[in-house]
Every structure is written in C-alpha cells, then in structure tokens.
C-alpha cells in the first residue's frame, strides 16, 4: 500500500538501513492548463503533459499515459534483458498498454488496472524456449513490482518468430 508523510514527519526519519543503488529526479512545473516535465538529463527534451478535463484540456499525453508508458517500457526492458541473457536473438519488442480508470465511492477517479501485451519478435523457434512467464517478468520489473499491490496488473507475452530469409531457403 502507499503511504504519505508530511515534510516535518519525513525530516525526523532515520536514513534507510540500505542505501539506494541509484536514484532519479525530475522537475514538474504547472503552467496554465498543462505541466512541463524536465527530466534533468542532458540532451533529453522536456515533456508536456495535459490532464483530462476538468483539470486540463486533454491535449495529452496525460499522467496516466506516462504511468502506462513507464510500466510498458520497464516490462519490455526486463523481457529483453532475460531473453538476451539466455542467448535469444530478439529482433524487436512491441508493447501495447491499456488502462482502466474508474471512480471510487467518493467519485474520485483512479487507475484500477493496467494491461500490458508484450510481443517479442525472435529470430528462431529455439528462442521461444527462453521466454519467461508473465508472472516472472512482473517480478523482475521495478515499476510492475511497485504497482502490483495497488492495482490489477495483467501481463501477456505473445512471441513471434521471424526467421531470416536465408534460413527459410534451406
């Protein structure tokens, strides 16, 4: 579950027992009806976000889109890492993400579920043997692992084989 601390409560906490291996930071600035995200990375452009009405104008992408893209990218990277480590030749990975938004008892909208379909395209049928289960992949994804307690997460892996033309002739 998610917990929140006030600034005064957070300042009195002891440092974590285990120091983080890495971290990230970004800045979000709200202008008129949209937000600008500065990832503070050299050579990376800022990103404009726009909430759905009534908070924004829906020009997109929304924070929900960003959540879905982070999850899809993280699962795709985990899949690529696992398959390459096992020696598979992954030619490409396509990822489709969709989310469900519903109102709660107080009419506040919440992301209640996200569905991710990963389509790794491999060079040979033998590469299919190293495709991990969806459950294992979700365990290896930093973002999926963080989201699982709070929403329904559905992950499907549907591999495809694209054998090289010279292999098909033999």
Q: Are 37 and 47 in contact (CB under 8 A)?
A: yes
Distance, in Å, from the CA atom of 89 to the CA atom of 69, rounded to the nearest integer, reads 24
Question: Is residue 71 domain-shared with residue 155, that is, in the same domain?
Answer: yes
The 10s digit of each residue's pLDDT in 62-114 is 889 999 999 999 999 999 999 999 999 999 999 999 999 998 888 888 899 99
Question: Which among 14, 29, 61 is the end of a domain?
Answer: 61
36 with 67, same domain? no
Residues 48 and 83 grouped into a single domain: no
The H or E element containing residue 157 is strand 152-157
Cβ–Cβ < 8 Å for 138, 144: yes
Side-chain-side CA neighbours of residue 34 (13 Å) = 13
Are residues 135 and 101 located together in one domain of the fold?
A: yes
Same domain, 40 and 116: no
Q: What distance lies between CA 107 and its chain's CA centroid?
A: 26
What CATH number is given to the structural domain containing 115?
A: 3.30.300.20
In this prediction, residue 8 carries a pLDDT of 42
Q: Which of 9, 44, 61 is the last residue of a domain?
A: 61
Same structural domain, 11 and 77: no
Residue at which a domain ends, from 44, 61, 78: 61
3-state secondary structure of 46: coil
Tens of pLDDT, residue by residue over 9-60, are 444 455 555 666 788 888 888 877 778 888 888 898 888 888 888 778 888 7
| pLDDT for residue 1 is more than 70 | no
pLDDT given for residue 16 in this prediction: 55
Given CA atoms 145, 153, 49, 5 in this order, what sign does their dihedral have? negative
- Are both 40 and 85 inside the same structural domain? no
Domain of 31, in residue numbers: 1-61
Q: What is the mean pLDDT of residues 140-156?
A: 92
The tokens of 81 are what? 């890492």
Record the pTM: 0.79
Specify whether the CB–CB gap between 48 and 36 falls below 8 A: yes
Specify whether 71 is located in the same domain as 8.
no
Mean pLDDT of 133-160: 93
pLDDT per position as a tens digit, 91-103: 999 999 999 999 8
Strand ordering across the sheet containing 27-31:
27-31, 34-38, 47-49
Q: How many domains does the chain have?
A: 2
User: How many residues appear in the chain?
Assistant: 170
């Amino acid at each position: 579950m998610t917990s929140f601390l006030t600034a005064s409560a957070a300042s009195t906490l002891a440092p974590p027992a285990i120091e983080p291996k890495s971290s990230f930071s970004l800045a979000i600035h709200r202008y008129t009806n949209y937000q600008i995200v500065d990832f503070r990375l050299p050579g990376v452009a800022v990103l404009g976000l726009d909430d759905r009405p009534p908070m924004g104008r829906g020009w997109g992408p929304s924070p929900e889109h960003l959540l879905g893209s982070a999850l899809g990218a993280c699962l795709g990277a985990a899949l690529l890492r696992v398959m390459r480590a096992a020696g598979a030749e992954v030619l490409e990975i396509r990822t489709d993400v969709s989310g469900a938004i519903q109102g709660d008892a107080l009419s506040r909208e919440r992301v209640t579920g996200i569905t991710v379909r990963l389509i790794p395209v491999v060079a040979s049928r033998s590469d299919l043997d190293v495709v991990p289960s969806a459950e294992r992949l979700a365990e290896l994804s930093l973002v999926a692992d963080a989201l699982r307690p709070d929403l329904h997460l559905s992950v499907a892996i549907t591999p495809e084989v694209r054998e090289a033309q010279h292999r098909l002739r033999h």
